[in-house]
Amino acid sequence: MSQEIFRIEKFIGVIWVFIPIIALALILMFISQVIGWFIKDRVIKLFDSHWVAVLIKDTDKNGLNEAYFGRLNVPSQAGGGFEVFFDLKGIENPERLLAYMVRTYRETGNIKYLNMAQKLFNSFKGKGLLPGRNSLSEVVENPFSQPSQASKKIRSEEIKDIFAIIRFIDTLSEDEIRKRNNDLQKAFHPSVLKIFQRKIYNALGYVKDKLTKTISLATSTASGYLPIDLRKKLEEYEKEAVSKLGAHYDPLLENSIGRLVIVQVEDADGSTKLYQGVLREYSPNYLAIYNVDYRVLETVVFKGKKLVEGYPVEKLDFHGWHLNESTHLSIDSFSMESKKLKIKIRNVAEAPVNIISIKVNGLEEKLGGKVLFKNEEIETVLNMEKEVSSGSIIEIEYETVKKADIIWPRSKAKVIGLGEPVETFLDKIPLPSLN
């Protein structure tokens, strides 16, 4: 009995020692919950309300990675998650949506559903999305068809599946370009106030790391005397208490804000590529890199020298959008001599292209990457097993580039170095003598 009393007294004594620290953990948890209502990931919020393309791993298992285009919405407390709202033209299976609204009107008698259906019908019809339907009464409900989809939600646990969040420069309005340029200018030349705010933010990140270690040590010692259920709850409170406080401070990235950097990326085509751009911001979840020449893998098909309708295409499963790229390549000549097929390919676009391979009647020639600038051409010779006609199918795989600002998940990208020398090194380079 005396041993039991001794153990209880010891437990009470330990609890009294650690009560202030446990109370601090609980208070911090409460504060973090309040702050969490207003906090957004500092990288993803840069694209909040902007039109973006989100490239993500294949979810429907059709062999193609997904590409969603829409207006980005970043709610508070999403932990880096977000939602992409499609343009009206990008809504999938609009007829199913209209049929659902009409049915709801008939079941409830609420006229607002019918009015909304009529309004959407007019918009869809004007965009050419309802061929063969001239009135709302002709809309057919097919419960076996795919559901309508008007947005895509990305939760925090799905960030690892994202390849890139891309803001293509050519999709921006003049006002958006002006705001973006001002944003870049501020990143390159921050005001004294911005520098001070950044230092405070980073200082909070340092304090947070120290606070995490202190609370973790104290609560782990004290929780050893607590029942298992209460111990688990205390550990939860401890994690919540520090998860939203301060910033994630990375000194090797902090000194590169506003500089040209090299980024190693796991790209959507499965390859590992190096990109360069300006480091705009970073967070535990993301890297924001501006002014990137993003490489888009394209396939174009010709029948002889004639471009097949519908090409070029990208190897992506599109939702809410299509890139709708214009013609990049032309075939200037197609000739056959002694089972040797000569094909001359020209770049007819403004941007350079990188020719990867050419395939004719199943025979593929890997070029290993041949860059063609505007109006440049390349002639390749394929050894064919038999003569081919001038109407043969020719498939060319190549890359083009699009100017973009990109947010990469840190699970898919890392900054491996600067792409420019620092000013201190430049100052040490002697100027050439004028004599």
Q: For 121-133, what is each residue's pLDDT tens digit?
A: 999 988 888 888 8
> What are the C-alpha distances in Å from 230 to residues 31, 224, 233, 235, 283?
21, 10, 5, 9, 32
Is 206 or 348 the better-scoring residue by pLDDT?
348
Q: Tell how strand 317-319 and strand 66-73 pair up.
A: parallel
pLDDT of 304 over the 90 cut:
no
pLDDT of 427 over the 80 cut:
no
Helices 192-223 & 2-36, crossing angle to 10 degrees?
Answer: 160
Plot region of 222 (φ>0 → left; ψ -120 to 50 → alpha; else → beta): alpha
284 neighbors 180 (Cβ within 8 angstroms): no
Return the minimum-mean-pLDDT range out of 11-25, 62-76, 368-382: 11-25
85 membership: H or E segment, kind and range: strand 82-85
Name the phi and psi angles at 47, rounded to 5. -100, 10
> What are the C-alpha distances in Å from 357 to residues 98, 216, 353, 394?
45, 56, 12, 11
Q: Can you tell me which residue has the tokens 């898919």?
A: 412
Record the tokens describing residue 337, joined without a space.
């001599």
Least Cα distance to 297 among 421, 154, 207, 396 occurs for 396
Give pLDDT, residue 1.
53
pLDDT of 329 over the 70 cut:
yes
pTM of this prediction exceeds 0.85: no
Plot region of 80 (φ>0 → left; ψ -120 to 50 → alpha; else → beta): left
Specify which residues 306 forms β-bridges with.
303
Highest mean pLDDT among 172-176, 231-235, 390-394, 404-408: 404-408
167 neighbors 51 (Cβ within 8 angstroms): yes
Give pLDDT, residue 19.
61
> What are the C-alpha distances in Å from 169 to residues 9, 106, 189, 353?
68, 45, 22, 18
Q: What totals of helices (H) and strands (E) does the chain contain, helices first? A: 8, 18
Is 167 or 197 the better-scoring residue by pLDDT?
167
Least Cα distance to 358 among 376, 375, 344 occurs for 344
Q: Can you tell me which residue has the tokens 């705001």?
A: 179
Distance CA 224, CA 232 (A): 11
pLDDT of 246 over the 50 cut:
no
Count of residues making up the chain = 435
Return the minimum-mean-pLDDT range out of 171-185, 235-249, 310-324, 378-392: 235-249
E strands along 228-321, which residues?
260-266, 272-282, 286-303, 306-307, 313-314, 317-319
Record the tokens describing residue 31, joined without a space.
């504060």
> What are the C-alpha distances in Å from 92 to residues 66, 68, 86, 322, 376?
14, 11, 9, 13, 40
Provide the mean pLDDT of the chain: 81
What average pLDDT does the segment 303-330 reach? 88
| pLDDT band, residue 245 (cuts 50/70/90) | very low
pLDDT of 63 over the 80 cut:
yes
Specify which residues 3 forms β-bridges with.
none
The pLDDT tens digits for 374-419 are 999 999 888 877 777 777 889 999 999 999 999 999 999 999 999 8
pLDDT of 337 over the 90 cut:
no
Q: What is the gyration radius of the CA atoms in the chain, in angstroms?
A: 29
Give pLDDT, residue 113.
93
Chain-centre distance of CA 205, in angstroms?
25
Give pLDDT, residue 34.
46
Q: How many CB atoms lie within 10 A of CB 367?
A: 16
Beta-carbon contacts of residue 164 (< 8 Å; ≥ 6 apart) = 53, 54, 55, 265, 267, 268, 294, 406, 407, 408, 412
Specify which residues 290 forms β-bridges with.
278
Is 21 or 179 the better-scoring residue by pLDDT?
179
Give pLDDT, residue 80.
86
354 membership: H or E segment, kind and range: strand 353-360
Is 241 or 41 the better-scoring residue by pLDDT?
41
